[in-house]
């Protein structure tokens, strides 16, 4: 920034998008504070694995000065992909070539740690659950937190995900249920305890679908595999069946009935998991999701353009963060920076939203996308 005083920048959400934005700003001498509702960095499991693409997520890491560190801890072998039919026969198999780096895998927790450890101490303020944003449209805006704390900021960046509180300051849009739900199952110590599952999935991922039901299995680091059981169901399908998510045996019996004509080796992915299932109904924002420009508030990642989980979410969030941070650095005012950022981000996200509209349904198609693409 070329003008004084230095703007007060509040980033809501310590996910990959928010942390990337803070890191790139700090590299250019601009201070930002990240506020997150969780009690600390280890408050919960950060989720499964993801791939960072050469044409978006890796661009952001390069600007953050972390690309080489990412390559050291990523798993290029995780780019292996298998497509199976319901008999368990492999109909497509992609093995990454030596040195292939287009989309290496990294666990979400490892990515978050990489970003967190790159920031100055005190950058992230844990235990700050945002309740609302008010104040003059032109700023400064006031952020009200659950503990009664109120702060002022010249720019509020909503990096707070699908159910963003910051979004409410810009848009009335709320995520809608896609009609497709994931049920997540975990497998631990797979090479020793679940060798058949490990052999089926390989070092990367394996998928199968028949038009109404699907499975997507993905190896994580530390000898873990996560399986996503994909169904076209009502959002409350578990309770509608007279079950609770804690009723693991009941859910297993229901899944065995629903997948009764699938091969036994694929049905292991339904029933041999360690521990309970996790219910993940898939939501998405209306297409397109845009808003009237506000000089003191903007959004990035899922807060701006929540889409079905088809491998682009974190990549777009990090690219958004990169472009916003660079716009702040390169423009004289926050207003000009936000306007420049949104002029690039909104058309890009609209195009991707339109491309992936109803994409959750495609996860159930037996004509799965070509994994090589």
Tell me how far apart the alpha carbons of residues 202 and 368 are, in angstroms, rounded to a whole number.
Answer: 18
CATH 1.10.10.10 for the 178-282 domain, yes or no: no
For residue 46, pLDDT over 80 is answered with no
As a whole number, mean pLDDT of residues 241-246 equals 96
As a whole number, mean pLDDT of residues 157-166 equals 97
pLDDT (0 to 100) of residue 42:
83
Tell me how far apart the alpha carbons of residues 46 and 61 are, in angstroms, rounded to a whole number.
Answer: 19
Tell me how far apart the alpha carbons of residues 284 and 352 are, in angstroms, rounded to a whole number.
Answer: 12
Residue 361 preceded by cis peptide, ω within 30 = no
What secondary structure does DSSP assign to 231-254, as a single string?
EE--TTHHHHTT--TT-HHHHHHH
As a whole number, mean pLDDT of residues 301-317 equals 92
- Distance set, CA 7 to CA 3, 10, 29, 33, 323 (Å): 9, 10, 12, 11, 17
pLDDT (0 to 100) of residue 359:
75
User: Which tokens sit at 260?
Assistant: 């009764």
* pLDDT tens digits, 92-122: 999 998 888 889 999 999 999 999 999 999 9
pLDDT (0 to 100) of residue 45:
75
pLDDT (0 to 100) of residue 25:
98
Q: Among the CATH numbers 3.30.920.30, 3.90.45.10, 3.40.50.10800, 3.50.50.60, which is that of 9-78+100-174+285-362?
A: 3.50.50.60
For residue 3, pLDDT over 60 is answered with no
- Categorize the per-residue pLDDT at 250 as very low, low, confident or very high, splitting at 50, 70 and 90: very high
- Distance set, CA 170 to CA 132, 138, 164, 165, 167 (Å): 12, 13, 11, 10, 5
Tell me how far apart the alpha carbons of residues 62 and 54 are, in angstroms, rounded to a whole number.
Answer: 10
- Categorize the per-residue pLDDT at 369 as very low, low, confident or very high, splitting at 50, 70 and 90: low
Mean pLDDT, the chain, whole residue set: 93
The percent of residues above 70 in pLDDT, for the chain, comes to: 97
pLDDT (0 to 100) of residue 158:
98
Residues 123 and 115: beta-carbon distance below 8 Å = no
* pLDDT tens digits, 181-216: 999 999 999 999 999 999 999 999 999 999 899 999
Q: Which residues pair with 133 in a beta bridge?
A: 143
Going by C-alpha positions, the residue among 85, 165, 76, 89 that lies closest to residue 129 is 165
pLDDT (0 to 100) of residue 371:
41
Q: What is the pTM of this model?
A: 0.94
For residue 64, pLDDT over 70 is answered with yes
Per-residue burial over 320-359, b = 16 or more CB atoms within 10 Å of its CB, e = otherwise: bbbbbbbbbbebeebbebbbbbbeebbeebeebbeebbeb
Backbone angles phi, psi at 222, to 5 degrees: 70, 25
Residue-range domain boundaries for the chain = 9-78+100-174+285-362, 178-282
* Least trusted range by pLDDT, from 85-89, 217-221, 369-373: 369-373
User: Which tokens sit at 111?
Assistant: 């990515």
């Amino acid at each position: 920034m070329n003008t004084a005083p230095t703007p007060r920048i509040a980033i809501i959400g310590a996910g990959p998008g928010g942390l990337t934005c803070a890191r790139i700003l700090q590299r250019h001498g601009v201070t930002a504070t990240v506020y997150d509702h969780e009690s600390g960095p280890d408050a919960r499991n950060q989720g499964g694995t993801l791939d960072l693409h050469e044409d978006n997520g890796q661009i952001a890491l390069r600007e953050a000065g972390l690309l080489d560190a990412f390559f050291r801890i990523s798993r290029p072998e995780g780019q292996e992909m298998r497509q199976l039919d319901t008999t368990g026969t492999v109909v497509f198999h992609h093995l990454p070539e030596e040195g292939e780096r287009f989309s290496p895998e990294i666990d979400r927790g490892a990515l978050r740690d990489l970003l967190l450890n790159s920031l100055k101490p005190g950058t992230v303020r844990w235990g700050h659950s945002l309740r609302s944003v008010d104040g003059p449209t032109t700023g400064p805006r006031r952020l009200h937190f659950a503990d009664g704390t109120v702060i002022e900021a010249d720019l509020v960046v909503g990096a707070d995900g699908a159910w963003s509180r910051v979004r409410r300051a810009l848009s009335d849009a709320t995520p809608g249920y896609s009609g497709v739900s994931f049920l997540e199952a975990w497998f631990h110590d797979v090479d020793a305890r679940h060798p058949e599952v490990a052999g089926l999935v390989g070092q990367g991922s394996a998928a199968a679908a028949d038009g109404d039901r699907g499975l997507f299995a993905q190896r994580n680091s530390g000898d873990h595999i996560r399986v996503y059981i994909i169904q076209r169901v009502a959002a409350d399908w578990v309770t509608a069946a007279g079950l609770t998510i804690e009723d693991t045996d009941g859910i297993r019996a229901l899944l065995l009935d629903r997948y009764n004509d699938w091969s036994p080796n694929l049905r292991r992915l339904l029933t041999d998991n360690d521990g309970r299932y996790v219910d993940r109904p898939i939501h998405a924002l209306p297409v397109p999701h845009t808003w009237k420009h506000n000089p003191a508030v903007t959004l990035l990642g899922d807060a701006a353009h929540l889409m079905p989980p088809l491998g682009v979410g974190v990549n777009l969030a990090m690219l958004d963060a990169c472009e916003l941070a660079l716009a702040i650095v390169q423009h004289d005012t926050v207003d000009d920076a936000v306007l420049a950022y949104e002029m690039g981000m909104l058309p890009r996200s609209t195009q991707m939203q339109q491309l992936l509209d109803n994409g959750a349904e495609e996860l159930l198609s037996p004509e799965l996308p070509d994994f090589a693409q």
